[in-house]
Structure formats: structure tokens, C-alpha cells
């Protein structure tokens, strides 16, 4: 399945908050064998949320959205989702009753805002905070607070089929320039294996992944053989 992840929040764009949600979601989906094709960070703007979610829902099989489900003026994600999918934003009675018992506020406005979701949404209850997640068409919308996101995301993730996916790594001392010839040769010989090179301080991690375990293993072994032949130190990285 081809997936997009959209993180909503001005605080992410300013660098005030690290976007751990997107990396968590991407890693979990990848481990199940699904392809994360886009990760976007967008501001708290109804128009921009609607535009990006509308495009992503048409281009990809499924879209995960995080952030902007609270009660403040800049929590406008549900409005954007409703606009993108051309659905009316309505108070969900079950959510309303539950939110009333969970938030420490006398503000009817806050309860009504958190309880308003696009018409026809399937509610995914949040056991950690007040605002629930929901699924509408091929879009899942979750809270931005990491623990709340994880709580609701894991429930949604259980619906995703686990596909064949394997990965392995080789660590090589030094810089990427030392291994370009060997790396390019393996990339050419194994077009069905995804190969990525990730420079670190003083070493490089080369990751091999794909749907066929034997092909991944063969690519790793071929790379190690080439490194050994050219007397470049490399070893499997745990």
C-alpha cells in the first residue's frame, strides 16, 4: 500500500517541536511492508490542509494526518479534512458525551469543537487524551500529542496487512566516496532491492531492503564481497 503522512502544525514549521510522529508512523508502516511515499509538514491553515489532504487522498492508497484536533483557535485540521473530502463538519454525539467527562473545562465551545468531525467518520477512541482519532474515506486523522497519536495509531495499524519485507545493513568505516564504485555496482545488479547510503560521523550505513529475503541477502553478500576485494572494512551492523 502506498501511503502519505501529513503533519499539521505551525510549531513544527518553526522548529519549536520535533516531528517524531511522522518518523514513528513511517517506521511502523515500513516494517509492515507498506511504502511511505510522502511526508509533508503544513501550517494550521484550513485552505492548505484541505488542499494537501485532497491531493494526497487522490494520489495514495491511504493518508495519515496528525495534529490540530484540540479546542484552540489554531486547531483547524477537522475543518480542513471536511473541506478536502466535501463533507459537512458535525458534532458526533458519542464523542461529545465522552469529551464532556474527560476535559477539565466548563467551556461548551471547547467540547463542541473537539466533538466536531467530518460527517460519516469512524471514531477511533483515544485512551490517553480527550480528542479521538477518526477515519473518513482513505484518511486517518490523529491527535498531535505523541502519546495520544501512538495510542490511536496502533489501533488503526492493526487493520493493515503485514506484507513481505526484509532489511539488512552494512556499516563501512570512512566516507561515502570510498565505496561509490562498489555501491553503484550492487545497485545495478540488484534493481529489485532498495539500497540506501546514510553517512554518519566517521562511517557509512548502507541499508538493503525489499520483498524477497534471498535477494536482500544476496545483495548484502555481494556488497561485502566487493568491499573485501578492495580491502575496504565493512561489517554487518546490529
Domain boundaries, the chain: 2-157, 166-236
Instruction: Tell me the average pLDDT across 95-112.
Output: 86
Q: Give per-residue pLDDT as tens, 119-129.
A: 999 999 999 99
pLDDT of 234: 54
Q: Which of 232, 219, 211, 227 lies closest to 189 in space, CA to CA?
A: 219
Match domain 2-157 to its CATH number in 3.40.630.30, 3.40.980.10, 3.90.1150.150, 3.40.50.720.
3.40.980.10
As a whole number, the mean pLDDT across the chain is 94
Q: Above 90 in pLDDT, residue 45?
A: yes
CATH topology of 2-157 equal to that of 166-236?
A: no
CA neighbours within 13 Å on the CB side: how many for 235?
Answer: 3
The angle at the Cα of 65, spanning 43 to 125, to the nearest 5 degrees, equals: 125
Backbone angles phi, psi at 222, to 5 degrees: -65, -40
State the Cα–Cα distance between residues 180 and 41, nearest whole angstrom: 32
- Report the residue count for the chain: 238
CB 143 within 8 A of CB 133: yes
Q: State which H helix or E strand residue 4 sits in.
A: strand 2-8
Taking domain 166-236, whether its CATH number is 3.50.50.60 is answered by: no
CB 234 within 8 A of CB 186: no
State the Cα–Cα distance between residues 191 and 18, nearest whole angstrom: 34
pLDDT of 110: 92
Find the Cα–Cα–Cα–Cα dihedral 38, 44, 47, 53, rounded to 10°.
Answer: 30
Amino acid at each position: 500500500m502506498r501511503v502519505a503522512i501529513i503533519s499539521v502544525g505551525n510549531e513544527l514549521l518553526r522548529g519549536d517541536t520535533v516531528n517524531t510522529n511522522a518518523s514513528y508512523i513511517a517506521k511502523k508502516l515500513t516494517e509492515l511492508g507498506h511504502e511511505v511515499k510522502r511526508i509533508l509538514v503544513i501550517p494550521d491553515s484550513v485552505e492548505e490542509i484541505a488542499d494537501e489532504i485532497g491531493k494526497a487522498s487522490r494520489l495514495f492508497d491511504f493518508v495519515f494526518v496528525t495534529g490540530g484536533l484540540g479546542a484552540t483557535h489554531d486547531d483547524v485540521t477537522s475543518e480542513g479534512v471536511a473541506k478536502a473530502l466535501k463533507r459537512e463538519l458535525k458534532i458526533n454525539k458519542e464523542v461529545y458525551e465522552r469529551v464532556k467527562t474527560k476535559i477539565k473545562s466548563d467551556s461548551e465551545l471547547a467540547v463542541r469543537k473537539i466533538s466536531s468531525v467530518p460527517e460519516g467518520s469512524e471514531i477511533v477512541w483515544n485512551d490517553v487524551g480527550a480528542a479521538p482519532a477518526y477515519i473518513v474515506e482513505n484518511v486517518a486523522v490523529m491527535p498531535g500529542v505523541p502519546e495520544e497519536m501512538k495510542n490511536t495509531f496502533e489501533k488503526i495499524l492493526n487493520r493493515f496487512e503485514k506484507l513481505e519485507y526484509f532489511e539488512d545493513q552494512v556499516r563501512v568505516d570512512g566516507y561515502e566516496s570510498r565505496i561509490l564504485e562498489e555501491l553503484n555496482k550492487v545497485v545495478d545488479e540488484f534493481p529489485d532491492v532498495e539500497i540506501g547510503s546514510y553517512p554518519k560521523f566517521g562511517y557509512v550505513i548502507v541499508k538493503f531492503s525489499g520483498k524477497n529475503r534471498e535477494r536482500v541477502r544476496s545483495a548484502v553478500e555481494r556488497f561485502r564481497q566487493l568491499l573485501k576485494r578492495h580491502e575496504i572494512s565493512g561489517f554487518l551492523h546490529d
